[in-house]
Amino acid sequence: MYKFTLFIKIILFSSLSEVAALAGVELNNIPSLGVAVGDYNNDGFDDQFVTNVGINTLFKNNGDGTFTDVASQLGLDDVAKASYAASFGDIDGDGDLDIYVGHWTEDLIDANPTNRANDLYINNGIEVFNNIAEQAGVNTLGATFAIPMTDFDHDKDLDLLVVNDFFFLFLRTGITLDSSVGELFRNDGLDVNNQLIFTSFAAEAGLNQEIQGMGVAISDYDNDGDIDYYCSKRNDGLLSANNDTGVFISQPVPSYTGAIGWGAVFIDVDNDGYVDLYRGNSASAMSSNVGSVAYQLNSFYQNNKGIFAAEDSAVQVGLGSLNAGLGVATAGFDNDGDQDIVVHGVDGTINLFRNDTVTENHSLQIALKGTASNRRGIGAKIFVVSGKGAAASKTVREVNAGSSHSSNNSFVTHIGLGSIGYASRVSVEWPSGCVQVLTNVSTGLNEIEENCTANHVVTGRITHNGNGLAGVKVWDAYDFQNTQTLTDASGVFVLQGYADTQQALIVVDGRDGFIVSSDPRRFIPSMNAKDVVLNDSIATLKANTIMGAVRAISGAGVASVNVWNIFTYPTSSVSTDANGSYVLTDINVGDNVWLNGARVGMSMVIDSGEYVLIPEGVAIENVDFTITAKANTASGFITTQSGVGINANQIWDALTWPASIVTTDINGFYIIPDMADDSGIALIPSTHPDYAISPFVDTFVKAPGAAEQHNFVATPQ
């Protein structure tokens, strides 16, 4: 069930204004209408571009909690206009951020319409911006309310999307101005004189509808791997679906009669992998014209696998605030794995809605750090694949600075993964042209620093009876010593460190008791500057073997359990893998086999009840055991929130340390035996370099004969 809670409500002229003054970002006697955030000088600190009625402001972040207005010294004070919208982006691909500014023209009274035209400021990298809008042909004149830089056609450069309000005026110059049509300028790169070339492309892209546009949301709402748009306006909004070629098919998203939409965001509320839609509504955009008529219920639409619900459910989920919502932005302010919403009302009220939706779904957060690209990776595309095979899901997010209506979302990109506990593949297309691929990315916050040294990977999967086979050794015959690995619990292997044109000869060695019956050798003549994903290899159980699994009562496999044939112990002893599987080998026809097994603090019972087997020279499978914790033990798991085990982490009872020290297995499981009855226990996990493990200490009194279960959660630091 979707649920939001109004967590904080800030009234205009509250004590926060004192903080603004101390930080140097308080603007007096000038109406400020919007903001875009970006690190224009790549010094590692986010700066703020504020749009005003008059000269705009660029607040440079001094890195000490204070800001300085540098607009005049950087050439951003050339003309005073009524500016509503702005966006940051590296439009010329030189590694620093440029600024596109949109203006609203209702107050146009002079005979020169260019005095209200939109502006494109190019950052020359030496603390100067040059306005090239007229030269580049993007100095459109209209009532612009949103102006994001976005790569609509996936050609690896940013384009200019202009969302205009309705405005029609016969100027004294004889020019008739109608700004209700949306505009799109395709970036065609640099000409021979190193000047930017833009092509007006709204009609060709299907984005030239006549609307009263107020705001825009950007994401991949239908999970088909391309960027889509939602435009807020009077009454029904407009949803534009990309067909993967930069051509859009648009359809209305119904709204209640009379609603005027402003700020809009895509947000995956329940982490099911599909972004939902929220928009603010207000009958007025001017604080001087706030009356009861201005306050309209905001809107929320749930996304059911690429189809938005026809019913507006804002009230039901706790988002139907009557604060005349203009600015809307998303951020995970409490770092609990979901996204929250901030709404700025026309009357100055700020509402923070905390997402309290209860769900078993997982999520992934990605924070980019550019090196060759701008520091925040603004303009980057992040492609995420979760799941495998026919069940795999693919989506894309674009890092923007300046969208919605006069707002800026968090730069931490959020992707819901549904029931999948990790992303099998994350591909970052940086503004510099670098493409960076990561595999098996864990849930939670992942910081990705741009690294374009050749570092491609070869991945594949080994299966037995359709299931992943853990512990299979795989290596590259050309570099055996440095390039080898074992398959994980899903049977997946990853070999890393390949250059763009490097050759590889992948050898799948199998493991004791198995042979690889399909594609044990894979020759790759060249990486071709990309990662290589191999088809699955199939492993077959050898003759004269016995295979089974050791499982807990829940059915989960238990690792690190020793299993053996009593008649040939200890030479026949093997240990279960991450899935709880074991294989006994070299069993001859007619041999007596008496299976047994143990793990400290646990008891095993064979499921079939028959411990003694007489093999006949073939492979015997599914000889399974059930294992339980013995009395007077303490056991449990140390895992991430998504259930990924923390391997080789020590844990102990503080009152019996060091005798009670044990180490977690590959699944994060631990068990401490010989715990005293009616005694105080204090379980303490050791610190981990990458995770904060909670609770720090777990204290309890053990009941007589009890098998205590106590779990711990590891959160990335």
CA 78 to chain centre: 39
Model confidence at 13, pLDDT cuts 50, 70, 90, reads: very low
- 218: domain CATH number? 2.130.10.10
Residue 636 covered by a domain:
yes
Model confidence at 111, pLDDT cuts 50, 70, 90, reads: very low
Asked if the model's pLDDT at residue 166 lies above 80, the reply is: no
pLDDT digits (tens, 9 = 90+) for 631-651: 999 999 999 988 888 999 999
pLDDT at 147: 95
pLDDT digits (tens, 9 = 90+) for 597-618: 899 999 999 988 777 777 777 8
pLDDT digits (tens, 9 = 90+) for 527-576: 888 889 998 999 999 888 999 999 998 888 899 999 998 988 888 899 99
Asked if the model's pLDDT at residue 172 lies above 60, the reply is: no
- Per the rule left: phi > 0, alpha: psi between -120 and 50, beta: everything else, 137 is left
pLDDT at 436: 83
Same domain flag for 131 and 259: yes
pLDDT digits (tens, 9 = 90+) for 447-473: 999 987 767 899 999 999 888 899 899
pLDDT digits (tens, 9 = 90+) for 151-164: 999 999 999 999 98
Number of H helices, E strands in the chain: 4, 60
Residue 635's nearest CA partner among 604, 675, 580, 687 is 675
Boundary (domain end) residue, out of 330, 353, 376:
353
Model confidence at 15, pLDDT cuts 50, 70, 90, reads: very low
pLDDT at 74: 95
pLDDT digits (tens, 9 = 90+) for 685-712: 999 988 999 999 999 998 899 999 999 9
Same domain flag for 415 and 286: no
Q: Tell me what the mean pLDDT of segment 33-56 comes to.
A: 94
pLDDT at 174: 52
Q: Tokens 């070629």 sit at which residue?
A: 245
Asked if the model's pLDDT at residue 135 lies above 60, the reply is: yes
Residue 8 covered by a domain:
no
Asked if the model's pLDDT at residue 410 lies above 60, the reply is: yes
Model confidence at 664, pLDDT cuts 50, 70, 90, reads: very high
d(CA 186, CA 175): 25
DSSP state string for 287-335: GGG-SGGGB---EEE-BSSS-B-SS--HHHHT----S-EEEEEEE-TT-
Q: Tell me what the mean pLDDT of segment 202-221 comes to.
A: 93
Same domain flag for 259 and 136: yes
Asked if the model's pLDDT at residue 109 lies above 60, the reply is: no
Same domain flag for 345 and 268: yes
DSSP state string for 441-483: EESEEEEEE---SS-EEEEEEEEETTEE-TT-EEEEGGGTTTS
Residue 32 covered by a domain:
yes
Residue 314 covered by a domain:
yes
Asked if the model's pLDDT at residue 89 lies above 90, the reply is: yes
The beta-strand segments (E) located in 562-649 are 562-565, 574-575, 581-584, 593-598, 602-606, 612-613, 625-629, 633-640
Residue 626 covered by a domain:
yes
Same domain flag for 563 and 656: no
Residue 215 covered by a domain:
yes
Task: Name the most confidently modeled range: 74-88, 104-118, 331-345, 513-527.
Answer: 331-345
Q: Which domain holds residue 595?
A: 545-606
If one compares 552 and 112, the residue with the highest pLDDT of the two is 552
pLDDT at 610: 76
Same domain flag for 482 and 334: no
If one compares 133 and 9, the residue with the highest pLDDT of the two is 133
pLDDT at 444: 93
pLDDT digits (tens, 9 = 90+) for 674-690: 998 888 899 999 999 88
Q: Tokens 């009840």 sit at which residue?
A: 609
- 637: domain CATH number? 2.60.40
Model confidence at 16, pLDDT cuts 50, 70, 90, reads: very low
If one compares 175 and 226, the residue with the highest pLDDT of the two is 226
Model confidence at 107, pLDDT cuts 50, 70, 90, reads: very low
Say what the pTM is. Answer: 0.66
pLDDT at 614: 73
Mean per-residue pLDDT over the chain, rounded:
88
Model confidence at 113, pLDDT cuts 50, 70, 90, reads: low
Boundary (domain end) residue, out of 331, 353, 375:
353
Same domain flag for 291 and 324: yes
Q: Tell me what the mean pLDDT of segment 60-77 comes to.
A: 94
pLDDT at 108: 46
Same domain flag for 189 and 275: yes
Asked if the model's pLDDT at residue 290 lies above 80, the reply is: no
Asked if the model's pLDDT at residue 177 lies above 60, the reply is: no
Task: Name the most confidently modeled range: 1-5, 208-212, 526-530, 705-709.
Answer: 705-709
d(CA 625, CA 546): 13
SS3 state of residue 167: coil
Asked if the model's pLDDT at residue 170 lies above 50, the reply is: no
Model confidence at 400, pLDDT cuts 50, 70, 90, reads: very high
pLDDT at 641: 86
Same domain flag for 55 and 200: yes
Boundary (domain end) residue, out of 321, 353, 385:
353
Asked if the model's pLDDT at residue 230 lies above 90, the reply is: yes
If one compares 365 and 106, the residue with the highest pLDDT of the two is 365
Q: Tell me what the mean pLDDT of segment 232-242 comes to.
A: 94
Number of folded domains that form the chain: 5
SS3 state of residue 507: strand
Same domain flag for 275 and 373: no
Peptide bond into 615 cis (omega under 30): no
Model confidence at 517, pLDDT cuts 50, 70, 90, reads: confident
Residue 360 covered by a domain:
no
Residue 36 covered by a domain:
yes
Same domain flag for 153 and 76: yes
Same domain flag for 426 and 560: no
Model confidence at 222, pLDDT cuts 50, 70, 90, reads: very high
